[in-house]
């Protein structure tokens, strides 16, 4: 089993939106970074743990626990000319962008970015590294365990 931190802007999909979705499951659409796409396409497996992270908001941070709920499949927004995520180079025969479904397990207290940064046990966490802008990052088992212990 692997662990991931997946960022979502609350205006796109918040933890509450995901909790209200059928089966508490949402497709993780709109990823347009090759490394993040490759994590979903090549490394994620059903059942992997996910830290649901709110980004680009007044108080960014971890808002809940989730799990990968599907194998990767093409992100349909790449084909929709009306979508902000449309990619004119993508075709149904050769899709460029993939996604996985994410199922919310539990909404938690917000573990803010400031709290994450102030925690010595999380100093090496990839999301906290200078210049990191990826929407999906791996989380070590030790980081996952520490965060889960302090969120609940």
The per-residue pLDDT for 33 is 95
Q: Are 33 and 78 in contact (CB under 8 A)?
A: no
Name the average pLDDT for the chain. Answer: 96
C-alpha span between 136 and 17 (Å, rounded): 19
Arithmetic mean of pLDDT, 79-89: 96
Looking at the predicted structure, is the pLDDT value of residue 107 above 80? yes
Arithmetic mean of pLDDT, 88-111: 97
Arithmetic mean of pLDDT, 43-49: 98
Arithmetic mean of pLDDT, 97-116: 97
Tokens of 131: 């210049």
The per-residue pLDDT for 94 is 95
| Total of domains in the chain | 1
Per the structure, the complete domain to which residue 38 belongs is given by 3-151
Weakest-pLDDT range from 4-13, 80-89, 90-99, 126-135? 126-135
Task: Work out the pLDDT band at 78, boundaries 50, 70, 90.
Answer: very high
Which distant-in-sequence residues (6+ apart) come within 8 Å of 108 by Cβ? 62, 63, 64, 65, 151, 152
Looking at the predicted structure, is the pLDDT value of residue 152 above 80? no
**Residue 124 to residues 13, 119, 146: CA-CA distances in angstroms?**
27, 10, 13
Arithmetic mean of pLDDT, 117-139: 94
C-alpha span between 39 and 34 (Å, rounded): 9
CATH code, domain carrying 114: 3.10.590.10
C-alpha span between 98 and 76 (Å, rounded): 9
Task: Work out the pLDDT band at 132, boundaries 50, 70, 90.
Answer: confident
Arithmetic mean of pLDDT, 91-98: 96
């Amino acid at each position: 089993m692997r662990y991931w931190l997946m960022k979502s802007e609350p205006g796109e999909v918040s933890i509450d939106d995901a909790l209200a979705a059928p089966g508490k499951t949402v497709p993780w659409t709109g990823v347009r970074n090759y490394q993040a796409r490759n994590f979903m396409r090549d490394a994620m497996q059903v059942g992997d743990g996910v830290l649901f992270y709110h980004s680009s908001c007044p108080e960014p941070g971890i808002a809940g626990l989730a799990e990968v709920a599907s194998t990767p499949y093409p992100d349909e927004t790449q084909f929709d000319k009306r979508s902000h995520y449309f990619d004119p180079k993508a075709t149904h025969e050769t899709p460029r962008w993939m996604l996985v479904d994410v199922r919310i397990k539990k909404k938690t207290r917000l573990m803010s970015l400031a709290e994450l940064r102030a925690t010595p046990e999380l100093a090496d966490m990839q999301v906290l590294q200078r210049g990191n802008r990826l929407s999906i990052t791996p989380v070590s088992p030790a980081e996952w365990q520490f965060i889960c212990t302090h969120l609940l």
